[in-house]
Chain A
Amino acid sequence: MSIIDLTSMGEPQKDIKNQINNRLKKLQDEVSEFCYQCAKCTSGCEAHKLLELEPHKIVALLKRGLIDEMLNSDVIWTCMSCFKCRERCPQKVAPVEILFALKNIAVASGKPIPGKYSAMLQSILSNGLIQDVQTISDRNNQAIKRDKLNLPDLSKPVDTNKFQLVLSKLAIEKI
């Protein structure tokens, strides 16, 4: 199964759509209602100055049901997940978690996944880790490999078939 099959649905699927709607409804009802737009989240946001992410506006858009606009915007992918907004929100709204949910929904509804996420997912599916052992350079530009450093073998899934089976199921289920 290729990464495209796993992350984008070829045809609209009712089940997935229902799940997405349920999750959105939950977010809207349970979370965004508590927000009173104090913008404490945005004042501390690590991505605000640099990438113009405004977490309080994300919550406002969610409240107004402007979901598609957010799913189609790159702005949801600018969060650095520093968790300052979740830590500091006086109403425990956690915009960072709303952003994670929106990104999950964007992926589940077949929107393109930016950057190296697909490569990392592919690597997890094949060997359990986001990347395989890398050859690195030391300060004198000498190539260094893990097996030359007297370190034990890498810990990774032993029964790769079983591991891949569960993970593939999860990747398809998505929500």
Chain B
Amino acid sequence: MKKYVFYPGCVMPTEQYAYELSIREIMPILDIELIDVKDFSCCGEPMKSVNQLMTIYLSARNISIAEKEGYDIFVPCPMCHLSLSECQNILENNHEINKKINEMLSSENLCYNKPINIVNTVDLIHDIVGLDKIKKLVKNPLNKLKAATHYGCHLIRPSEIGRPVDSENPQKMENIIKAIGAEPHDYSEKLDCCGAMINTNLPESALTKTGQKLVAVQNYGFDVFVDVCPWCHRMFDSKQKKAGETVAAKLDMPVVYLTQLLGLSFGIDRNKLGLNLNLSPVDKIKFGGK
């Protein structure tokens, strides 16, 4: 059993409970042990517009806390994943900032020493667990379920600092979805942003972005929309009704976390996967075709 320090971030553990529930449900089945650690904080990325040094400090303190445990870190939120990865990149390459950050860390009795592996849901399942193992675990193949994927901008870009998937043609979620029997299809709007980052100051525009993407996905005739980001999911699922009103469209698109879809194919009870918490019409998802 492989062990990871579990870094939950802010949005997932305070609001997007379905993601956390489904992760905690499927990881033991995949032989992944998650270690809960006290003392984590926000990754800092939401503050990057206000104060970048704060962003780097917050990420560095989280990496230092994980480093003390002696295991790699599992970061399910793409935004946190980018923030921690970028911070590690800066600390490794910029001696001046490294020194400054470590001085500040010492007042919290922390220290950044060396880089650790930072993994996200997609690469953990695709690269570390592997598709062969996923195939063997499937009890309810999701045959003929047409799935659209949404990776989230922060998971795929910028590739210069190393991202878990390809920046222009990501396919790892598609491969995972194929492994559980469903049918992923590429679509023109696949790399479009959900708009969540401007929900802070321009909520109407953010909802317009969300609505436009969902309208496209719905018009293509997809059965399910699959994501791995708590920020994106909050837009596409939690705020789907509002997004529909904003773009004057009737939206009726089931939106699930990848971990929920995997759990369904493994035969796990819907409520254990938090499917009762999705606000989009997930009851429409049928097994073994329509």
Contacts and interface: CB of A to CB of B under 8 A. Distances in A.
Interface of A: 7, 46-47, 50-51, 77-84, 86-87, 92, 94, 100-101, 103-104, 107, 113-117, 120-121, 124, 128-134, 136-140, 144, 146, 149, 151-152, 154-159, 162-163, 165-167, 169-171, 173-175
Contacts of A156: 39-41
Given A77-B202, A155-B38, 20 more contacts: A47-B205, A82-B157, A87-B160, A107-B50, A107-B51, A113-B50, A115-B200, A116-B201, A128-B41, A129-B14, A131-B15, A136-B15, A137-B279, A139-B282, A154-B13, A155-B37, A166-B57, A169-B104, A170-B54, A174-B51
Contacts of B129: none
A46 B212 CA distance: 12
A170 B50 contact: no
Contacts, number: 180
29 contacts: A46-B195, A47-B198, A47-B205, A77-B202, A79-B198, A87-B158, A101-B52, A103-B49, A104-B50, A107-B49, A113-B50, A115-B202, A128-B42, A129-B10, A130-B10, A134-B15, A137-B279, A139-B278, A139-B282, A144-B17, A146-B17, A152-B36, A155-B13, A155-B37, A162-B108, A163-B41, A166-B107, A167-B57, A170-B57
Contacts of B107: 162, 165-166
A132 B42 CA distance: 11
B157 A129 contact: no
B8 interface: yes
Nearest to A100: B48
A60 to B, nearest CB: 22
A81 B197 contact: yes
Contacts of A133: 13-15
Give the one of B109, B160, B201 with max A CB within 10 A: B201
Contacts of B197: 79-82
B193 interface: yes
Given A81-B48, A117-B201, A136 B17 contact: yes
Interface in B171-210: 191-193, 195, 197-198, 200-202, 205, 208-209
Given A100-B48, A117-B200, A162-B107, A167 B54 contact: yes
Interface centre among A80, A114, A140, A173 (most CB of B within 10 A): A80
A77 B49 contact: yes
Contacts of A101: 52
B240 to A, nearest CB: 12
B108 A159 contact: yes
B7 to A, nearest CB: 8
Contact of A83 (B13, B158, B198): B158
Contact of B17 (A81, A151, A157, A162): A151
Contacts of A136: 15, 17, 238, 277
A122 to B, nearest CB: 11
Nearest to A47: B198
A127 to B, nearest CB: 9
B47 interface: yes
Contacts of B192: 46
B146 interface: no
B198 A80 contact: yes
B221 to A, nearest CB: 23
Contact of A103 (B14, B50, B53, B208): B50
A146 B14 contact: yes
A114 to B, nearest CB: 4
B11 interface: yes
Contact of B49 (A104, A144, A173): A104
A57 to B, nearest CB: 19
What are the nearest 7 A-B pairs in CB distance? A115-B201, A128-B41, A83-B157, A114-B201, A82-B153, A46-B193, A155-B40
